[in-house]
């Protein structure tokens, strides 16, 4: 079986973070999205948080109108966000947990416990033709419930693995890696499409790319940070190359 293409979704939230630090309109996340696409991004991800700390409502509308690649609308499963998603009609949504006090999305959704709330959201968005992904830890009960409530996609939270590697905790990194690998394989057996994201950089994206079950990576903070040194276009090009190097190893296994 041929190894599927690994898509790169570029999350442009932190371009908006920099813009909002001063107010005004610069740097424009829509311009960043266009640059990322020209450099090889397969899609653009933007998270409209309840507090609008980075992406704002008009960014979502402008992104939808301006980009010619799939828009992945990251959102909490609230009535407000479902309404905006239905109005915007993005290609995809990724449902994430959201806490006001967190600096970034800290953990995955507890689908196993919150399925009563999540199931109707998955159904409503799917009926509108929007692909729904659930951002979860690579744990069997979460994966099983995601499949049970008919989410077509899960995005595996790989932040704990990236963090363990970054802090030199080899044992924890190995444990997290096994969880990711087993979780991705298990999700695939249940018919789920598998994505991954959170905390990825060139090195970790290259390693994750070796898992053939994973067909999309969503990456933001590292790309925007690295753009300070190399520019966004060059950074996306390098990330694409890292992912391709990892993917090429699958064929050699």
Q: Which is nearer to ligand PXP, 90 or 252 (CB)?
A: 90
Contact 214/194 with Cβ under 8 angstroms? yes
User: At closest approach, how far in Å is the CB of 239 from ligand PXP?
Assistant: 10
Please say whether the dihedral angle defined by the alpha carbons of residues 76, 86, 217 and 179, taken in this order, is positive or negative: positive
Tell me the angle at which helices 159-166 and 170-189 cross, rounded to the nearest 10 degrees: 160
**Beta pairing partners, 194:** 154, 214
| Residue of 27, 59, 74, 156 that binds ligand PXP (CB under 6 A) | 74
Interactions with ligand PXP, residue window 211-240 (CB under 6 A): 218-222
Q: Is 54 in the site for ligand PXP (CB under 6 A)?
A: no
H-only helix segments in 8-139: 13-22, 29-38, 57-66, 79-88, 111-127
Interactions with ligand PXP, residue window 112-171 (CB under 6 A): 135, 155
Q: Which is nearer to ligand PXP, 118 or 253 (CB)?
A: 118
H-only helix segments in 133-231: 140-148, 159-166, 170-189, 202-208, 221-230
Name the one range near ligand PXP by CB under 6 A: 22-30, 79-87, 194-202, 245-253.
Answer: 194-202
| Residue of 6, 8, 10, 11 that binds ligand PXP (CB under 6 A) | 11
Name the one range near ligand PXP by CB under 6 A: 80-88, 175-183, 191-199, 208-216.
Answer: 191-199
Q: Which is nearer to ligand PXP, 100 or 252 (CB)?
A: 100
User: Is 198 known to be catalytic?
Assistant: yes
Q: Which of 14, 54, 157, 198 is an active site residue?
A: 198
Q: Is 90 in the site for ligand PXP (CB under 6 A)?
A: no
| Count of H-run helices and E-run strands, the chain | 11, 8
User: Is 47 known to be catalytic?
Assistant: yes
Contact 16/59 with Cβ under 8 angstroms? yes
Q: Is 47 in the site for ligand PXP (CB under 6 A)?
A: yes
Straight-line distance from the first to the last Cα atom of the chain, in angstroms, rounded to the nearest whole number: 13
Contacts of 163 (CB under 8 A, 6+ apart): 199
User: Is 26 known to be catalytic?
Assistant: no
Cite the active site residues: 47, 74, 198
Site residues, ligand PXP (CB under 6 A): 11, 13, 47, 74, 94, 96, 104-105, 135, 155, 197-200, 218-222
């Amino acid at each position: 079986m041929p190894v599927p293409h690994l898509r790169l979704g570029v999350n442009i939230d932190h371009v908006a973070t920099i813009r909002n630090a001063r107010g005004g309109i610069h740097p424009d996340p829509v311009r960043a999205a266009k640059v990322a696409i020209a450099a090889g991004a397969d899609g653009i991800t933007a998270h409209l948080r309840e507090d609008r700390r980075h992406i704002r409502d008009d960014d979502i509308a402008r992104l939808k109108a301006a980009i010619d690649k799939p828009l992945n609308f990251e959102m909490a499963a609230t009535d407000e966000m479902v309404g905006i998603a239905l109005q915007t009609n993005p290609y995809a949504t990724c449902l994430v947990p959201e806490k006001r006090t967190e600096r970034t999305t800290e953990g995955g959704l507890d689908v196993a416990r919150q399925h009563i709330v999540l199931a109707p959201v998955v159904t409503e968005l799917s009926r509108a033709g929007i692909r729904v992904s659930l951002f979860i830890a690579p744990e069997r009960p979460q994966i099983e419930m995601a499949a049970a409530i008919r989410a077509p996609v899960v995005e595996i939270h790989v932040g704990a693995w990236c963090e363990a590697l970054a802090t030199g905790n080899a044992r924890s990194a190995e444990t997290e890696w096994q969880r990711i690998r087993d979780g991705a394989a298990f999700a695939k057996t249940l018919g789920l499409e598998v994505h991954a994201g959170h905390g990825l950089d060139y090195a970790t994206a290259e390693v994750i790319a070796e898992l053939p079950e994973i067909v999309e990576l969503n990456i933001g903070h590292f790309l925007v940070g690295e753009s300070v040194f190399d520019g966004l276009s060059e950074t996306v090009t390098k990330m694409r190359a890292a992912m391709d190097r990892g993917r090429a190893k699958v064929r050699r296994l």
